[in-house]
Amino acid sequence: MLSVVNADGTTETGSLIDDIVREGARRMLAAALEAEVDAYIAELAGERDEHGCRLVVRNGHHQPRKVTTAAGTVEVKAPRVNDRRVDEATGERKRFSSAIPPPWCRKSPKISEVLPLLYLHGLSTGDFVPALEQFLDSSAGLSPATVTRLTQQWQADHTAFGERDLAGADYVYVWADGIHLRIRLREARSCVLVLMGVRADGTKELIAMADGYRESAGSWADLLRDAQRRGMRAPVLAVGDGALGFWKAISEVFPATRHQRCWVHKTANVANALPKSAQPGAKKVLQEFYNAEDRDHALTAITAFEKAYGAKFPKAVKKITDDSDELLAFYDFPAEHWIHLRTTNPIESTFATVRLRTKVTRGAGSAAAALAMVFKLVESAQQRWRAVNAPHLVALVRAGARFERGHLVERPDPLAA
């Protein structure tokens, strides 16, 4: 390979280092293709016709084609094979097919993975060609039509996800939230209903996702009943905000499940009932509730809050006292899990990325396409979700073990004595 190198280290096709990488990739690919064909022919050297002639021999090379790879675009000139064997079952000629670049391949699988990730994380379809052509030395396979085909596949993936069997997945804890996004759903006031869970091994997983009208009880009940129909067991604890629709629905579908209200949402609700001057001090007091050593200390802090704010701001205090049982439910579970159970942050943090993507797209064309795009975003984020602390304790919670002050009680007190 001879290249004219300019004073700044560039060549006619880019930089010298890029040219070297591409040429090295081309030579390695050519050698791999030759070795693959040689191995195929050597393996079938004993296959001969009635005249003793080999049935599988080399037959020159195919026309060269360009393939987009992570190293750039390289030219592929694959060797041809003349395979005269006949498949006894079908009566058709057998054909050699390379496992390195299949006949239809125009870009490597790695590039195929990059395209949807770039689209999901903010790059619009019209920006693909100018952005990636500089890196890949080609615009092949980077047209907006590529993304259109991807969205169709995403819709099929979302449909399959919504129909999968849940009988083998045991969700001990679940988080539920309705996320309002700037995407085109069925109704003008629709939102995305999301249900996440913790399996018995401590790993987090997306359970279900659908669009619902105003987080209504009917929409949540439809989602929960569908999950139940597909084999989902009643979770031990459900975590959500103050949306009455979800709590009504889960009480109907899974009446044995305990309720835990999200402290982040509750803090915001209480602050909205207070004047701005009183909000900073009140928020510090509220933190003492969910960061307390145990339930008893939390109840003591609530009593102090009621005395300090009850006379002037009864509405704000009532928001805490009326829901104290559901706000402090997490104290009956392992202390290692408290940080996970007292808020809906697992859903909120994941949907920060979703909001970024939907803000860029400004609508996904249809309800199905919008939900499919959101699903693929969450599916991508799911790979980075970490298990809950002390995952071995989740199975004990499902088994009905009792925890006091966050610690496992080995046996009832009378027996312990």
What does the H/E/C string look like for 112-140? Answer: HHHHHHHHHCCCCHHHHHHHHHHHHCCCC
Q: How far apart are CA 31 and CA 98, in angstroms?
A: 13
Structure confidence at residue 18 (pLDDT): 66
Type of residue at 248:
K
Contact (Cβ atoms closer than 8 angstroms) between residue 280 and residue 267: no
Phi-psi domain of 107 (left: phi exceeds 0; alpha: psi -120 through 50; beta: other): beta
- 3-class DSSP state for residue 259? strand
Q: How far apart are CA 261 and CA 341, in angstroms?
A: 9
Structure confidence at residue 384 (pLDDT): 84
| Residues 127, 128, 134, 139, Cα dihedral to 10° | -130
- 3-class DSSP state for residue 341? helix
Name the strand (E) or helix (H) holding 38: helix 16-43
Q: How far apart are CA 263 and CA 257, in angstroms?
A: 19
Strand blocks (E) in 153-236: 171-179, 190-199, 204-213
Would you mind telling me the total number of residues written for the chain in this entry? Answer: 417
Give backbone dihedrals phi and psi of 390, rounded to 5 degrees, phi first: 50, 60
Q: How far apart are CA 284 and CA 279, in angstroms?
A: 9
Q: How far apart are CA 208 and CA 182, in angstroms?
A: 20
CA distance to 162, 170, 299, per residue, from 322 (Å)? 36, 32, 13
Alpha-helical runs (H) found in 230-262: 244-253
Structure confidence at residue 291 (pLDDT): 92
- 3-class DSSP state for residue 194? strand
Segments of the chain with pLDDT less than 50: 1-2, 5, 9, 134-136, 140-141, 187-188, 360, 362-364, 412, 415-417
CA distance to 148, 267, 329, 331, 398, per residue, from 295 (Å)? 53, 18, 9, 6, 21
How many helices (H) does the chain have, and how many strands (E)?
16, 13
Per-residue pLDDT tens over the stretch 226-273? 999 999 999 999 999 887 789 999 999 999 999 999 999 999 999 999
Type of residue at 271:
A
Contact (Cβ atoms closer than 8 angstroms) between residue 191 and residue 201: no
Write out the two tokens for 313: 């701001």
- Number of Cβ atoms within 10 Å of the Cβ of 119: 24
Phi-psi domain of 325 (left: phi exceeds 0; alpha: psi -120 through 50; beta: other): alpha
Contact (Cβ atoms closer than 8 angstroms) between residue 235 and residue 204: no
Write out the two tokens for 248: 């009504």
Contact (Cβ atoms closer than 8 angstroms) between residue 347 and residue 196: yes
Structure confidence at residue 356 (pLDDT): 63
Q: How far apart are CA 14 and CA 262, in angstroms?
A: 55
